[in-house]
Amino acid sequence: MQLRITEIFLSLQGEARDVGRPTVFVRLTGCPLRCHYCDTAYAFSGGLAMPVDEVLAKVEAYGVRHVTVTGGEPLAQRAVLPLLASLSDAGLAVSLETSGALDVSAVDPRVVKVMDLKCPDSGEADRNRLENLASIGPQDQIKFVIASRNDYIWSREMMSEHGLAERCEILFSPVHGRLEPQALAEWILEDRLPVRFQIQLHKYLWGEEQGR
Ligand code: SF4
């Protein structure tokens, strides 16, 4: 089975629970969403066709244990499911970054899902596929990317309405350049919200440079 790949590269994990760990990133081409703040629009088109086996070989050649499959929206390509299984079979610690707009139920259970719930300021909140919450377990993470106070309040309400903090780890991240990280940190502390605050480490290290 073939995949369309924008890039495969080694970096430090910039976000989520494994932040700071050397990680191989496999960025799949294509995304059906258009979030206002998207920082990977270069992955919307182009890319190279590659069989699953070749992707696996390239990942293993880096010699690190953690691999993140991202995009674009990786689940937009059906062959991502056998890729995730092959990476897991190879003994790698695999995570999948997904927008939350596509079905996650068939993802290999060994894979950690880092799933967005799109906030109103993304312009794509009506694409959230809430049925996905049934497939989210304690090893997974739900991420809110927050651009404003309005997004923060919406995220807090979603957490409470769906009991998200009891389901898995919750990540709150400010949109780089749109919301001051300190403001978000202070709102979380005021509300004693049981979430993990994060900033995108790679942006502080390397800015918007592609392949980092
Ligand atoms: S889902 Fe991700 S890749 Fe797609 S438009 Fe939104 S931020 Fe960009």
**CATH code of the domain covering residue 167:** 3.20.20.70
In a domain, 152, yes or no: yes
In a domain, 78, yes or no: yes
In a domain, 181, yes or no: yes
In a domain, 212, yes or no: no
Q: How many CB atoms lie within 10 A of CB 150?
A: 12
Do residues 143 and 16 touch, judged by C-beta distance below 8 A? yes
Give me the number of domains the chain comprises: 1
Q: Whose CA is nearest to atom 3 of ligand 1?
A: 72
C-alpha 7/C-alpha 104 separation (Å) is: 23
- Tell which one of 36, 45, 73 to mutate to probe ligand 1, the residue whose CB is within 8 A of the most ligand atoms: 73
C-alpha 212/C-alpha 11 separation (Å) is: 6
**Band (210; pLDDT cuts 50, 70, 90):** confident
* Residue 106 scores a pLDDT above 90: yes
In a domain, 25, yes or no: yes
Q: What is the DSSP string of 102-113?
A: S--TTS-TTSEE
Q: Which domain holds residue 108?
A: 2-206
The beta-strand segments (E) located in 103-168 are 112-116, 141-146
Pocket of ligand 1 (CB under 6 A): 31, 33-35, 38, 40, 71-73, 99
Predicted confidence at residue 16, as pLDDT, reads: 80
Place of tokens 């629970």: 17
In a domain, 211, yes or no: no
Closest atom, ligand 1, to C-alpha of 34: 5
In terms of phi and psi (left: phi > 0; alpha: psi -120 to 50; beta: otherwise), the region of 133 is alpha
Bridge partners of 197, per DSSP, are 172
C-alpha 102/C-alpha 175 separation (Å) is: 22
In a domain, 82, yes or no: yes
CA of 76 to the centre of ligand 1 (A): 12
Show binding-site residues for [4Fe-4S] cluster. Answer: 31, 35, 38
Q: Which contiguous run of DSSP H or E holds residue 196?
A: strand 196-197
In a domain, 116, yes or no: yes
Burial class (CB in 10 A: 0-12, 13-18, 19+), 60: middle
- Mean pLDDT, range 150-179, rounded to an integer: 97
Do residues 2 and 79 touch, judged by C-beta distance below 8 A? yes
Do residues 125 and 91 touch, judged by C-beta distance below 8 A? no
Do residues 41 and 51 touch, judged by C-beta distance below 8 A? no
pLDDT in tens, 12-71: 998 888 889 999 999 999 999 999 999 999 999 999 999 999 999 999 999 999 999 999
CA of 99 to the centre of ligand 1 (A): 7
- Mean pLDDT, range 132-141, rounded to an integer: 97
Nearest in space to 112 (alpha carbons), one of 89, 91, 129, 94: 94
